[in-house]
Amino acid sequence: MSTTTFKNCTHVVKTLLLEGELSYKEIANQARSHFPDARTTDKSVASIARDMRKLGLLEKREPKRKNPVQLELDL
């Protein structure tokens, strides 16, 4: 994450969502690390992401799998 100065907790969440590298839980943790009094959860991050998608500011994320399935084709 860059050394950006954030205006508020929502700004942290939106910035990290646009970067697209962290899970919702990790984004909530980052937001709380910048603003310790914040009550940000992965559910609140998901809500902000939904609103951003509705406005066309964010693409739908593909779920990350803990154990990606590798398909092997016998040729």
Residue 67 confidence class, pLDDT cut points 50, 70, 90:
low
Rg (CA), the chain: 15
The whole-number average pLDDT for the span 50-57 is 95
* Per-residue pLDDT, 70: 62
* Per-residue pLDDT, 5: 73
Residues 6+ apart with CB under 8 A from 13: 27, 28, 31, 40, 44, 45, 48
Per-residue pLDDT reduced to its tens digit, 32-52: 999 999 999 999 999 999 999
* Per-residue pLDDT, 1: 47
pLDDT at 74 over 90: no
From 3, 53, 6, 62, select the one nearest 31 (Cα to Cα). Answer: 6
Task: Answer yes or no: are the C-beta atoms of 53 and 59 closer than 8 Å.
Answer: yes
pLDDT at 3 over 60: no
